[in-house]
Amino acid sequence: MKAWKIIAIAGGILILLSLVFLFASSSTISSALNTAITRMKSIPPKSLMPNENLTFSVSSLSYLLYNSSAPLELLQNNKSVTQFEITNYTWVAVISPNLNVFIINNYSSTMLVRYVTETVSPLVYLIAFSPYLLFIGILVLIFAFILFIFRKK
């Protein structure tokens, strides 16, 4: 078998693996978020007065889900934590281990908040790995195409 064919097959396999990892890990994330939301809804809400905060920390890389009528400020290591609204009034943020997390009410009225933290599953790392694998697969296919064009006849 020609070298360019072997390289093209390897590139195709890398692309296929990246897509499998992407779909497998995205369904895992969806399932984990739904479970966490269900668990969060069963927790009684905590009342946060204006300028009051909740403080906690986690021992491993985790995500925070919280529910309130408006987005609250999240701080970790004196820096704002990026958060995304995933459903109405429910936000998610990734939080680093071994640092205090502050959920701060910067509003002028009392806020009710429910929150839950979940450890990030190792399978979720595949979703971060997938784009790189896809990129490498495309580069390998391009290399195989170049070899095909310049092959000796």
Question: pLDDT tens digits, residue range 90-131?
Answer: 999 989 888 999 999 999 999 999 999 888 877 777 777 888
The answer to whether 139 and 7 are in contact (CB under 8 A) is: no
Please tell me the predicted confidence (pLDDT) of residue 31: 80
Please tell me the predicted confidence (pLDDT) of residue 29: 78
Where in the chain are the domains?
3-149
Instruction: Tell me which architecture the domain covering 3-149 has in CATH.
Output: Sandwich (2.60)
A 10 A CB-CB count for 149 gives 8
A 10 A CB-CB count for 85 gives 10
Please tell me the predicted confidence (pLDDT) of residue 114: 93
Per-residue confidence band for 33, with pLDDT thresholds at 50, 70 and 90: confident
Token digits of residue 13: 């396999």
Chain centre to alpha carbon of residue 47:
28
A 10 A CB-CB count for 83 gives 19
